Structure 1
Amino acid sequence: MIEARYKWERPVVADEAAAQILTTELQLEPVIAKVLVNRGYDTLAKANEFLNPSPEQINDPWLLHDMDKAVARINEAIMNGERITVYGDYDTDGLTSTALMYETLEMVGADVNYYVPNRFNDGYGPNVEAYERLIGEGTQLIVTVDNGVAGHAAIARAKELGVDVVVTDHHELPETLPDAYAIVHPRHPEGTYPFGELSGVGVAFKVATALLEEIPQEMLDLVALGEIADLVDLVGENRTLVTYGLKMIEQTQRPGLLALMDVAGVQKDAVTATTVGFSLAPRLNALGRLGDAGTGVELLTTQDEEVATELAKKIDTLNIERQALVASIGDAAMAQAMQPENLERQTLVITGAGWHEGVLGIVASRVVEETGKPTLVLREEDGILKGSGRSVPAFNLFTALDAHRELFVAFGGHAAAAGMSVAVEQLSALQTAFEAEALQQDLADAEKPALKIATLMTPSDVTPTLYRQLQSLGPFGNGNTEPLFVFEPATLSNVKAIGAEGKHLKFALSGENQPNLNAIAFGRGSLANDLVANDQGVQVVGSIEENVWKGNTSFQLMVKDILQEGLTIVDGRTNKLQPQLFTEVAQYVFFNPKVKTQLLAYLPEGSHVVDVTAGDVLTDGQLTVLVDLPKQLDDLSVLQGHTFSRLTAIFYAAHQVYLEKNPSKEEFGKLYKYALTHTDLPIRAQTETIAKYLNIDKNRLYFMITVFFELGFVTIDDGNLNGVANPPHAELTTAPSYQARIQKQAVEKALIYSKTTELKTLLHQWIDQA
């Protein structure tokens, strides 16, 4: 069984008639029309407006609160020759905002420079010391981009020093706003701007439009970068800005952006929101995480191709370093998450010494994704644990930690993410409080996060026409997610784990008399064995992607979730036990105590050992491995009524007898005659000699002697064997050892020499017995 990570929400089209109208009038595939209707674009007018973004959908910048004051103050500074400093932020939205505002002010003749704060020295947003230093160096007007609404202290200090601050920002507004000269914000409480979801670069773009008195189309490439990277809702004005921004990237002549795309291996005529989000933005974000983010602004604004190339290479190298840090710290964090004490917890507090602070949020996100548990990842230095937390939709991280502020040196954040510092001696208290909050918020009983499904499809439904129309629904992101489809294939084929350490999963969906559809599931390589063992009853959710390889175009499914109902039984039968068979933390079931003793040292820490002969009880819901062969089939009754997340059958037997012929009466006769004619045979010393003389395998000879001894046909005293001249009458097959051999052969036939399908059927029968 493979349990879905999400709760699949399969929609019912609210208005079939509306969908039919869109299908007919706009010549859409029915599934595309249904997606539009389900997302609220249920009339021709709404659908046309959505499918065809136009400049008319870009709002008037003068509608923003304080835009008139901001532009007037900036123009005044330009007229008076005042030094203007653009104060930005260190993520991609902040870097593009800074670059856009800097270029705009240069275009209108300002004496302008920029300052990007350091994540580790300055922190986020306006910093008092940084403001004082800039003012001391000659700054006479500060214009913030992508920050400022929470910068009360620094803005107040600038005012004391006679310097105005114009804030342009989009972040959550505090109850009391700072005493800035102007605050340009799309959700300002006194404003009436019709669209409140602009990112920092979106707000900067509106200021640029007002200053230039026209839309600066050549800067839309920066807008697309920043808006996509900041994960704003790609609806309304944002969708229009990003749509045109992506088109501008396709024809950009910006040296820095061209160089960045080159090192990232991105073709500018194939840039999508996905390539921006997964290839370009992470490289710019790496600057702020590991070094001086100002390099990003320099890259985006330089007109020198050689400088751009060198900066892009430097940024790419830094991104490779970031990836290596995330991989190494992430592996260490996951190892902690898999420790027995953490497996029992609903929340995780992961700690390590020497970890780079700049990537801890990424690592926390990875742990949350792989475990489904709210996670704090903290680095230890000088007695302080400092780091980041990430959560799941069902658990409010801010509420949980805010209730225990006394534990923290510093703390801030929101429902899904937080940053914090805590003294090392408070670690145990923090773990206890974090776990208690999981109980308080009923995390264990919370529903899985929802996954909205567009419709059920088959591989043959995926056509070039469908894919082309799907792309017309983009660009995709928050608020306008890529449509997801359910596939219920008849079978899976070519299932394999791929990538470094087999972390990813690749397979093909096969329908009845339908072409195969390749599928990729990142981070799900561990499911490969399960799917190879049982490819029936599988359902897959994913999005459709075009794949171009060596000039050939095909489509593939980017898997979001997998579901398989019923128990997966893995045929792991072998006649040789090796350490690699015991790498998973699991429930290991032994029918022979000697085998258990031999293997205990090889089982991973945290594994549950079940000795059937000792009456141990199995635990439900576990990965379970049947290690050795039971003495009789009835021993499998230990499986009755239990549930398993996966059941692997190894059924190792040190010596197998099924393929050995049972001794014939003639062979028994030869041995009996030999025993009668030889007195006081030292059986141990003479076994090989006797076996060779009688032409009987040594193991068979031992068995035959045991049968004779049990029936009274021979005696054994002090290791010497003698025949009994007038033994009691008895059938050879009635000897206990003969009965045991017959029973072992039957068990081996059923559990070792059966076909995989027969074995699975037998195990299912034992499990399902009432």
Structure 2
Amino acid sequence: MLKSKYSWQMPKNKIDSEKVTAIAQACELSEVAATVLVGRGYDTVDKATQFLKMDPEMIHDPFLLHDMQKAVDRIQAAIVADEKIVVYGDYDADGVTSTTIMFETLNELGANVDYFVPDRFKDGYGPNMAEYQEFIDNGVNLMITVDNGVAGNEPINYAVTHGMDVIVTDHHEMPDELPNATAIVHPRYPGSHYPFSDLSGGGVAFKVASALLDEVPEEFLDLVAIGTIGDLVSLTDENRFLVTSGLKLMSEGQRVGLNALLKVCGLDGHEINEQDIGFTVAPRLNAVGRIGNAGEAVELLTTFDEDKADQIAKHIDSVNEQRKQLVADIYDEAIMQAQTPENAAKKTLVITGTGWHQGVLGIVASRLVETTGKPTIVLSAAETEPNLKGSGRSVEALNLFEALNSQRDLYVNFGGHHMAVGLTIAKTNVETLKQLLESAAEANHLNLNQVTPLQIDGRLKVDQISLKVIQDLQHLGPFGTDNPMPEFEIDPKQVTDAKQIGADKSHLKFQLVGEKQQIDTIAFQQGALLPYLQAVPDHIKVVGTLESNTWRNQTKPQVMVKDLIIDAIPVIDKRTTHLSVQLFSEPATYVFFHEATYKRVKPYLADNVKSVVLDANKPDETLLTGNVTLVDCPDSISAFTNWLNEQEPDTLTVYFYQRNNAYLDGMPSREQSGKVFKFFANHPVIDLKTQLPAVVKYLHIAQSLLVFLIEVFSELEFVKIETGRVSFIQNPEPHKLSEAPAYSLREQQIKTQEKLLYSKSATLKIWIQEQLADKNEGVAD
């Protein structure tokens, strides 16, 4: 059995079929899409209609935001007085789009305005005292922060006391003490009456622009969409309308810089969706801030010069490639640290490096969490620096901010939230940090074996999947935080045409077979499962999303697999007559039925590979789980069956290597046995080392049969074997050949080899699966 990576969670409440039908009819949706709505709580026609509605009425009044009127009044006064204004942004995708929205709005109103995007390495995140001082010295009268500022007490208070007004527009968590700003425009301001709390930084800047321009500035919707998707804020309420409208605007290609970026991404001429933003556009804008200067991204978004836009877009794309290579290189070093015996024994990881690029450490930490399931902090510094700087990422079960916040004086700088933190810490304090994080994991009873839940929207038969269903599901988008793409459990009759795809064969492609149709299916990074799908094609369930795929002007449904289960134990037939080192490269428990076979291949086994040599007398006392490989062929089919009945592998691979083939050689005939006996009676001493070939030729018998009969005669005390010499014993006690243990063993070997070596592959797999199922069936009874 192949277990799922996730814990599949169906909707908690039973789906009311009458509600589904009512919503499907009222909203002109398929019942599949209506079922998703009901399962997500939109269980009346009014709720479903409100959710699906896409019109400007969804946009809330910007003046409901706290201090919006104060902010507008101060900005308008600054414009009238020709005061110097600076927009202070941030260096991620939300930050640069926020900066662009605010800067272009003020430009349009004729303001004396410039923008500033901090450098991640020089200025850090948020308000920076040194930069504020420089703005004051340069005569800036008004600063407007976008996507930052709510936690900038010290520099903002300094600015205000030195004659520079500051308007904060932000959406991040609010601290207990707020800065002394002229205005704080924030959707979660305590006591605020704004009806939606989860705007992005770009969304807040858009609201300020709307208030200043006294209309909804549709030309900024593309930027709002990028910031909203890139910052992973909720895709519900007005954000759904803003993102939907922004994606449409982006597809129309009205912004020169975005057009150039889409072109280098290979997305020009396509209808842009939220996945294009999340996986292609936003990462490139983020990359500039991670390893360069994010001001370049604002320059791209604001330019009207096509040649300049093309040049910047190409450079941003090259920076993104550099970012990916940096992540790959650092991850390779970091995972080696994570796998040391010391770290392997821990529930958490603190990984340190020298000279690692600090702009990508958060991504590396995320990948380590993905790989290990452990909350992880990745830190780096130059060899001569006293402090390490880096990022941490966590799992849902451990609040990383709370875990580390109890010892604030341990850090030079520290901040973050439940799932992510950033920190600077003295190298001398790293061991204390490790102990603190590990203690927090213990105190929270962090279980690394706990499977991550995966919310599933319903079960589908293959024949329910259609282009109409997929189109209807798209009406529920755009998908993202709080509105994930619907996931379905699909139980096909079987899977067919399974094959590995991709340059490195790391992906799977196969078809889900229903009663009336077959659906193409892709499973990324699951290429290693090919043998399992081939072994049990009719015992597979998948969870995945439904998409349409167009190839050669033909559009068909397609399933993108998130997870899968094989609810029978896959038996993989790799029977062989030759053992090589390649056969022992996969992680598994390798089982040997003969000590001699184990000794022969022991040099092939890596140190971390588990191997078991079964006790021929007590084989049933060894219980194996996980991926199990049977290397050689057992001697007794009955003993093997008894042992197999007790095993609980996830997968079973069989090589069944056999050096001496009893089945092909068979048993000697009565005539052959008598002829050999008579020969040794007439030749009292034979030296097998030198005379064996001659004896074989003389008796016209296969050498393997001759050697077998000599062993039988020895056990029955017809002959004696010493240092390769066979001596006939005069007047031996009479015995039947079947009384010899070797004779009985050979009969068992013939029966076993016939079953295990020469049965058809399908027959062998079914028989083994039946034996493996016996134990579970017995428990159920």
TM-score > 0.5, shorter chain as reference? yes
Residue 66 of structure 2: aligned partner: 65
CA shift for structure 1 position 375 = 2.7
CA shift for structure 1 position 91 = 0.8
Residue 575 of structure 2: aligned partner: 573
Is 1:752 the counterpart of 2:757? The answer is yes
The AA in structure 1 aligned to 2:771 is: L
Kept in 2, the 8 Å contact 1:36–1:47? The answer is yes
Kept in 2, the 8 Å contact 1:641–1:767? The answer is no
CA shift for structure 1 position 179 = 1.1
Residue 541 of structure 1: aligned partner: 543
Structure-2 separation of matches of 1:61 and 1:669:
106
Kept in 1, the 8 Å contact 2:579–2:601? The answer is no
Structure-2 separation of matches of 1:650 and 1:769:
28
Indicate the larger mover: 124-133 or 740-749: 740-749
CA shift for structure 1 position 599 = 3.7
The AA in structure 2 aligned to 1:518 is: D
RMSD: 2.8
Is 1:625 the counterpart of 2:629? The answer is yes
Indicate the larger mover: 609-618 or 703-712: 609-618
**Matching of residues 177-576 of structure 1 within 5 Å:** 177-337=178-338, 342-379=343-380, 381-382=382-383, 384-403=387-406, 405=408, 408-424=411-427, 427=430, 429-444=432-447, 448-499=451-502, 501-511=504-514, 513-576=515-578
Is 1:4 the counterpart of 2:4? The answer is yes
Give unpaired runs (5+ residues) of structure 1.
none
Indicate the larger mover: 7-16 or 514-523: 7-16
CA shift for structure 1 position 460 = 1.8
Structure-1 separation of matches of 2:279 and 2:308:
24
Q: 1:648 to 1:408 in 2, by over 3 A?
A: farther
Deviations 1:256-277 (A, max 9, x none): 1111111111145421111111
Structure-2 separation of matches of 1:63 and 1:762:
69
Structure-2 separation of matches of 1:608 and 1:340:
17
SS of the aligned residue for 2:321 comes to: helix
Q: 1:521 to 1:376 in 2, by over 3 A?
A: farther
Deviations 1:632-680 (A, max 9, x none): 3426655564533333333333333222222333333443444345464
Is 1:150 the counterpart of 2:175? The answer is no
CA shift for structure 1 position 723 = 4.2
CA shift for structure 1 position 177 = 0.7
Structure-2 separation of matches of 1:723 and 1:353:
77
The AA in structure 2 aligned to 1:756 is: K
Structure-1 separation of matches of 2:223 and 2:303:
13
Structure-2 separation of matches of 1:594 and 1:72:
89
Indicate the larger mover: 468-477 or 335-344: 335-344
Structure-2 separation of matches of 1:638 and 1:353:
52
CA shift for structure 1 position 590 = 2.9
SS of the aligned residue for 2:615 comes to: helix
Kept in 1, the 8 Å contact 2:536–2:568? The answer is no
Structure-2 separation of matches of 1:375 and 1:496:
35
Indicate the larger mover: 324-333 or 634-643: 634-643
CA shift for structure 1 position 55 = 1.2
Structure-2 separation of matches of 1:163 and 1:137:
11
The AA in structure 1 aligned to 2:552 is: K
Kept in 1, the 8 Å contact 2:645–2:772? The answer is no
Structure-1 separation of matches of 2:378 and 2:403:
16
The AA in structure 2 aligned to 1:653 is: Q
Q: 1:220 to 1:554 in 2, by over 3 A?
A: same
Kept in 2, the 8 Å contact 1:636–1:766? The answer is no
CA shift for structure 1 position 465 = 1.7
Structure-2 separation of matches of 1:24 and 1:719:
90
Structure-2 separation of matches of 1:749 and 1:337:
48
Is 1:656 the counterpart of 2:661? The answer is yes
CA shift for structure 1 position 354 = 4.1
Kept in 2, the 8 Å contact 1:585–1:604? The answer is no
CA shift for structure 1 position 348 = 3.5
Structure-2 separation of matches of 1:101 and 1:21:
45
Structure-2 separation of matches of 1:287 and 1:50:
36
SS of the aligned residue for 2:663 comes to: coil
Q: Could you tell me the percent identity over the aligned residues? A: 45
The AA in structure 2 aligned to 1:743 is: Q
**Matching of residues 685-764 of structure 1 within 5 Å:** 685-717=690-722, 719-724=724-729, 726-754=731-759, 755-764=764-773
Deviations 1:324-368 (A, max 9, x none): 233343344445555565555433444444433222222222333
Give unpaired runs (5+ residues) of structure 2.
none
Indicate the larger mover: 605-614 or 573-582: 605-614
The AA in structure 2 aligned to 1:401 is: L
Structure-2 separation of matches of 1:160 and 1:669:
116
Indicate the larger mover: 200-209 or 51-60: 51-60
SS of the aligned residue for 1:142 comes to: strand
Structure-1 separation of matches of 2:114 and 2:392:
35
CA shift for structure 1 position 488 = 0.9
The AA in structure 2 aligned to 1:97 is: S
SS of the aligned residue for 1:443 comes to: coil
Structure-1 separation of matches of 2:15 and 2:497:
39
Residue in structure 1 matching 2:611, options 594, 599, 609: 609
Kept in 2, the 8 Å contact 1:585–1:605? The answer is no
CA shift for structure 1 position 724 = 5.0
CA shift for structure 1 position 483 = 1.7
